[in-house]
Structure 1
Amino acid sequence: MILEQTEFSGRWQAALVSVLQVLMVAIFAVGLWLGNGGVAVNAGVGFLVTLLPAFLERNYRFTMSTGLVLWITGAMFLHALGTLPLPGLDLQTLYGSTWWWDHMTHALSSSLVAGVAYAVVRALDQHTDAINFPPRFLFGYLLVFVMAFGVLWELLEFYISLVAQLLGNASILTQYGLDDTLLDLSYNTLGGLLVALFGVVHLTGVSDELATRFDRRQRERDD
C-alpha cells in the first residue's frame, strides 16, 4: 500500500512538473508577444533550469527524486509568473502588486541554493576522511553561504537595473529600494534555515549519489 502511494505520488509530481514547464513556455511566448524582454528572459532561463535534472540524468546518469525536481520547477515557475503583467491586476505584475510574492520567491530560490551547497558538502564529507563537517558547523555554513549568495544577487540586481537605466531599457531584474533588499536578505536566510533544519530528510539521496561519483572518480585516478 505504501509502495502504491509512493508510485502514485511520483507520477502526480512528474505530471505537475510537466504542467509547470508548459506554463513557463507559455509565459515566455507571451513575453515575446508583448515585446517584454524581462518576462521572456526570466521565463526562458527558468525553463532551461528545469531541464537540468533531465539533462544530468540523460548525459551523466545523475538522478534526482521527482519531489526535488518539482521543488526546482516550482521555484522557477513562481518567479516567471511574478514577472508577467496580469489582466486581473490591471496589467501589474505579482512582484509589483503583491507584497509577499518577492519574499516568497526569494525564500524558495535561496532554499535551492542552500540545497545545492548542502548536497555537495555532505557528499565531500562522506567521500573522504580528510574532511569532517560536524552538524553545528554545517548548519552555520549553510546560513553564511546563503547570506553571501543573497548579497551577491542583490548587487547583481542593482547593477543590472543601473545599466538598464543608462541604456534606456526595461530591467530584467528589478530593485525596489534598500528596505526591500534587507527584507530579501532576511527571507534568503529563512530559506537557508529551512534547508539546514530539514535538508537531511530530502537531500540525502542527492548527497549519496554525489559521494558515489566522487568515489568512482577517485578509483579511476588511482588505477
Structure 2
Amino acid sequence: MSVGHSRAVRGSPLGRAVAGVVRLVLAAILLGFALTSDAVHDYPHYAVLILVHPLIVRQALGVSLEPFHIVWVSVALFVHPLGGILGLYDTIWWWDHLTHLMSATLVAGPTYILARAYYLSGQTPIVPGWTVPAAVVTTTLALGLVWEGIELVHPWLIVYSDEDTAMDAVFNAVGALATVATAPRVLGGLVCQALPADTFTGTGTSAEVADRGDDHDRHPEFDPGDD
C-alpha cells in the first residue's frame, strides 16, 4: 500500500470533468481524421493513448493523475499527430521544437516519479540528491536518441537534416530540465503516492532517507497536507 491510497486525489469534480472532456475531444478529432483520410493511418493509436493513459499510469506507476496532469499528457500526445495531419511541421518552424519539448516531459515525468520515490524509500544506499535529476535528463536524452534511430528506418517519418536532429536533442534536454525544475511542485503529490506507506511513519530506513538535508524545504511530498 502506498501513501497515495490514504490521500484524496486533488482536483475538483469540475476539474475532473474538464479533463475528461479534453481527452474525449482530442481523441475524437484524431479518430475523425483517421476515419475520413487514408493519409493518417499511423495516428489512431495516439487517440487510444489519450483515452487510456490515466489507467496505464495507474497500473504502471501505482499513482492516480490529477486533472492538470491528464490535460497536459493529452495535449502532449496530441501535438505530434496534429502536426502530421495538418502539415504543421512544414508550415510552422517551431512546431517540431514544441513537439519534442512536450514529448520529452512524457518521459521525464514518470522517470522523476520513479527515481524520486525510490530515492526517498530507503531501498538504496545514501546517494547525492542530484542523482535524481541526472537520471531524468539521461533517460530522456537516451530515449530521444532511440526515437531518432526509429526515424531513420521508419518509412513514414522524415529526417530533415543533421542540424534538425541536433535541435531535437536540444529540445529534449529543455523538456527534461523543465520537468526537473517544476517537478517538486507539479509532481510532488504523485511521488507521495508512489512512496511506501511507512515513509512518513518514522519506521526503518525510510524515515532516515526522508530526513535528508534540505529536501524538506523543496519537496511537497514531505507535507501530506489536510486532504
Q: Which TM-score applies when normalising by structure 2?
A: 0.73
Cα distance in 2 for residues equivalent to 1:72 and 1:149: 18
Cα distance in 1 for residues equivalent to 2:93 and 2:22: 26
Cα distance in 1 for residues equivalent to 2:82 and 2:96: 11
Whether 2:81 is the aligned partner of 1:80: answer: yes
Q: Which residue of 1 aligns with 2:202?
A: none
Deviation at 1:12, TM superposition (A): 4.2
Aligned to 1:122, what secondary structure does the other structure show? helix
* Residues 62, 194 of structure 2: 8 Å contact kept: no
- Which is bigger in relative contact order (C-alpha 8 A, separation at least 6)? 2
Whether 2:192 is the aligned partner of 1:208: answer: yes
Aligned to 2:187, what secondary structure does the other structure show? helix
Aligned to 1:199, what secondary structure does the other structure show? helix
Aligned to 1:155, what secondary structure does the other structure show? helix
Deviation at 1:11, TM superposition (A): 2.2
Aligned to 2:130, what secondary structure does the other structure show? helix
Cα distance in 2 for residues equivalent to 1:84 and 1:209: 37
Deviation at 1:56, TM superposition (A): 5.2
Deviation at 1:176, TM superposition (A): 1.7
Where structure 1 has 5 or more consecutive residues not aligned to the other structure, the ranges are 1-5, 86-92, 165-170, 216-223
Cα distance in 2 for residues equivalent to 1:64 and 1:122: 17
Q: Which residue of 1 aligns with 2:140?
A: 146
Q: Which residue of 1 aligns with 2:206?
A: none
Deviation at 1:180, TM superposition (A): 0.9
Change beyond 3 A, Cα 1:7–1:191 = closer
Alignment of 1:1-223 (within 5 A): 11-12=14-15, 14-36=17-39, 39-42=40-43, 44-50=44-50, 51-54=52-55, 57=58, 62-85=63-86, 93-160=87-154, 164=155, 171=156, 173-212=157-196
How many pairs were matched up? 189
Change beyond 3 A, Cα 1:20–1:129 = closer
Aligned to 2:196, what secondary structure does the other structure show? helix
Deviation at 1:141, TM superposition (A): 2.2
Change beyond 3 A, Cα 1:28–1:177 = farther
Change beyond 3 A, Cα 1:78–1:17 = farther
Change beyond 3 A, Cα 1:7–1:205 = closer
* Residues 27, 48 of structure 2: 8 Å contact kept: no
Cα distance in 2 for residues equivalent to 1:61 and 1:199: 18
Change beyond 3 A, Cα 1:61–1:109 = closer
Cα distance in 2 for residues equivalent to 1:208 and 1:14: 24
Deviation at 1:55, TM superposition (A): 5.3
Q: Which TM-score applies when normalising by structure 1?
A: 0.74
Deviation at 1:211, TM superposition (A): 1.9
Deviation at 1:57, TM superposition (A): 4.9
* Residues 28, 41 of structure 1: 8 Å contact kept: no
Where structure 2 has 5 or more consecutive residues not aligned to the other structure, the ranges are 1-9, 200-227
- Percentage of pairs with the same residue: 24
* Residues 115, 199 of structure 1: 8 Å contact kept: yes
